[in-house]
Amino acid sequence: MERNLKELISQMTLEEKAGMCSGLDFWYLKNVDRLGIPSVMVSDGPHGLRKQDDKGDHLGINDSIKAVCFPPACLSACSFDRKLMTELGETIGKEAQATDVSIVLGPAVNIKRSPLCGRNFEYYSEDPYLAGETAAAFIDGVQSQHVGTSIKHFAANNQEFNRMSNSSEADERTLREIYFPAFETAVKKSQPYTVMCSYNRINGTYASENPWLLTDVLRDEWGFEGYVMSDWGAVNERVPALKAGLELEMPSSGGVNDQEIIKAVQDGTLDEAVLDRAVERILNISFKWVDNRKEQPFTMEADHDFARHTAEQSMVLLKNEDVLPLKAEEKVAFIGGFAKKPRFQGGGSSHINSFRVTSALDTAAGMEEISGNITYAEGFPADQDVYDEALAAEAVEAARKADKAVIFAGLPDSFESEGYDRTHMRLPECQNRLIAEIIKAQPETIIVLHNGSPVEMPWLSDVKGLLEAYLGGQAVGEAVVNILYGKVNPSGKLAETIPYKLSDNPSYLNFGNGEKTVYHEGVFVGYRYYDTKEMPVAFPFGYGLSYTTFEYGNLKLDKTELTDQDTLTVSVDVTNTGAAAGKEIVQLYVRDNSGACIRPDKELKGYEKVSLEPGETKTVTMTLNHRSFAWYNTDLKDWYAASGKYEILIGASSRDIRLSETVEMHSSVKPPLKLHLNTTLGELLSDDRTREYGEYLTNKMSSFFHSSSEEASEAITDEMNNAMVASMPIRNVISFGICTKEEVLDGLNKITLK
Ligand code: BGC
Task: For residue range 591-638, list pLDDT tens digits in order.
Answer: 999 999 999 999 999 999 999 999 999 999 999 999 999 999 999 999
Question: Given the CA of residue 349, which atom of ligand 1 is nearest to it?
Answer: 12
- pLDDT, residue 294, reads 87
Which amino acid residue places its CA nearest to atom 5 of ligand 1?
A: 58
Counting beta carbons within 10 angstroms of the beta carbon of residue 111, is it exposed (0 to 12), middle (13 to 18) or buried (19 or more)?
buried
- Tell me if residue 408 falls in helix, strand or coil: strand
Picking from 314, 410, 348, 310, the residue whose alpha carbon sits closest to that of residue 70 is: 310
Ranges of beta strands (E only) in 136-183 are 148-154, 167-169
Most informative mutation of 44, 50, 200, 353 for ligand 1 (most atoms within 8 A of CB): 44
Mutate to test the pocket of ligand 1, among 64, 232, 235 (most ligand atoms within 8 A of CB): 232
Q: Give the span between the Cα atoms of 417 and 117, in whole angstroms.
A: 9
Q: Whose CA is nearest to atom 12 of ligand 1?
A: 58
Range name among 404-408, 472-476, 621-625, 714-718 with the lowest pLDDT average: 714-718
Q: How far is the CA of 348 from the centre of ligand 1 (A)?
A: 8
What pLDDT does residue 441 have?
97
Report the alpha-carbon distance of residue 61 to residue 717 in Å, rounded. Answer: 73
For ligand 1, the distance from its centroid to the CA atom of residue 231, given in whole angstroms, is 6
CB 609 within 8 A of CB 652: no
**Residue 213 C-alpha to ligand 1 middle, in angstroms?**
20
Q: Is 44 in the pocket of ligand 1 (CB under 6 A)?
A: yes
Q: Does ligand 1 have an atom closer than 6 angstroms to the CB of 231?
A: yes
CA 239 to chain CA mean position, Å = 32
Q: Work out which ligand 1 atom sits closest to the CA atom of 50.
A: 12
Q: Residue 114: name the closest of 152, 155, 78, 156 by CA.
A: 156
Ligand 1 binding pocket includes 232 (Cβ within 6 Å): yes
Query: Does residue 54 register a pLDDT over 80?
Result: no
Mean pLDDT in residue range 182-204: 98
Q: CA 377, CA 391: separation in Å to the nearest integer?
A: 7
Residues in the chain: 754
Q: What is the pLDDT of residues 407-422, one digit of tens each?
A: 999 999 999 999 999 9
Q: For residue 250, report the distance from its CA to the centre of ligand 1, in Å.
A: 10
Catalytic residues: 231
Is residue 712 over pLDDT 80? no
- For 706, other C-beta atoms within 10 Å of its C-beta total 13
Average pLDDT over residues 327-338: 98
Query: d(Cα 381, Cα 395) in Å, to the nearest integer?
Result: 12
Question: 545 with 320: CB under 8 angstroms?
Answer: yes
Task: Give pLDDT, residue 674.
Answer: 86
Instruction: Give the pLDDT of residue 592.
Output: 98
- Between CA 528 and CA 535, with CA 530 as vertex, the angle to 5 degrees is 155
SS3 37: strand
**Torsion region of 312: left, alpha or beta (phi above 0 gives left; psi -120 to 50 gives alpha):** alpha
Dihedral of CA 713/719/722/724: which sign?
A: negative
Query: What's the distance, Cα to Cα, between the start and end of the chain in Å?
Result: 57
Closest approach atom of ligand 1 to CA 60: 12
pLDDT, tens only, 225-250: 999 999 999 999 999 999 999 999 99
Distance of CA 46 from the midpoint of ligand 1 (Å):
10
Residue 338 pLDDT level (bands cut at 50, 70, 90): very high
Task: Inform me whether the pLDDT recorded for 34 exceeds 90.
Answer: yes
Task: Find out whether the beta carbon of 485 lies less than 6 Å from any atom of ligand 1.
Answer: no
Q: What is the pLDDT of residue 248?
A: 98
| CB of residue 152 inside a 6 A radius of ligand 1 | yes
What whole-number distance in Å separates Cα of residue 554 and Cα of residue 567?
20
Q: Considering only CA atoms, which residue is closest to atom 7 of ligand 1?
A: 58
- For 280-312, the pLDDT digits (tens) are 999 999 999 999 998 888 899 999 999 999 999
150: exposed, middle or buried (Cβ count in 10 Å: 0-12, 13-18, 19+): buried
pLDDT value of position 295: 84
Strands of the 561-563 sheet, one edge to the other: 561-563, 656-666, 644-653, 582-592, 603-612
Task: Using a pLDDT cut of 70, give the percent of the chain over it.
Answer: 100
Q: Are 650 and 586 in contact (CB under 8 A)?
A: yes
Distance CA 605, CA 588 (A): 6
The residue whose CB lies within 8 Å of the most ligand 1 atoms, and thus the one to mutate among 57, 105, 208, 230, is 105
Residue 52 has pLDDT above 90, yes or no: no
Our answer on whether the CB atom of 105 is closer than 6 Å to any ligand 1 atom is: yes
Report the atom number in ligand 1 closest to the C-alpha of 163. 8
CB of 58 within 6 A of ligand 1: the answer is yes
Please list the alpha-helical segments (H only) found in 336-461.
360-365, 368-371, 389-401, 429-441
Query: 349 C-alpha to center of ligand 1: Å?
Result: 5
192 Cα to the center of ligand 1, angstroms: 17
Atom of ligand 1 nearest to the CA of 199: 8
- The verdict on the CB of residue 349 being under 6 Å from ligand 1 is yes
Confidence of residue 703 (pLDDT cuts 50, 70, 90): confident
C-alpha of residue 225 to centroid of ligand 1, in Å? 22
Q: Whose CA is nearest to atom 9 of ligand 1?
A: 349
Q: How far apart are CA 231 and CA 49, in angstroms?
A: 17
- Looking at 524-664, list the stretches that DSSP marks H as alpha helix, in order from N- to C-terminal side: 527-530, 626-629
Euclidean distance between CA atoms 374 and 403, whole angstroms: 10
Counting atoms of ligand 1 from 1, which one is nearest the CA of 150? 10
Report residue 163's pLDDT band, with 50, 70 and 90 as the boundaries.
very high
What is the H or E stretch that residue 278 is in? helix 272-290
Q: What's the CA-to-centroid distance between 721 and ligand 1, angstroms?
A: 61
pLDDT at 332 over 80: yes
Q: Which atom of ligand 1 is nearest to the CA of 251?
A: 5
What does the mean pLDDT of the chain come to? 96
As a whole number, mean pLDDT of residues 378-402 equals 96
Ligand 1 atom 11, closest CA? 58
C-alpha to C-alpha distance for 15 and 519, rounded to whole angstroms: 42
pLDDT at 753: 79
For residue 51 and ligand 1, the question of a CB distance below 6 A is answered with no
Q: Is the pLDDT of residue 708 over 80?
A: no
For range 143-162, the mean pLDDT: 97
From the DSSP assignment, how many helices (H) and strands (E) are in the chain?
25, 27
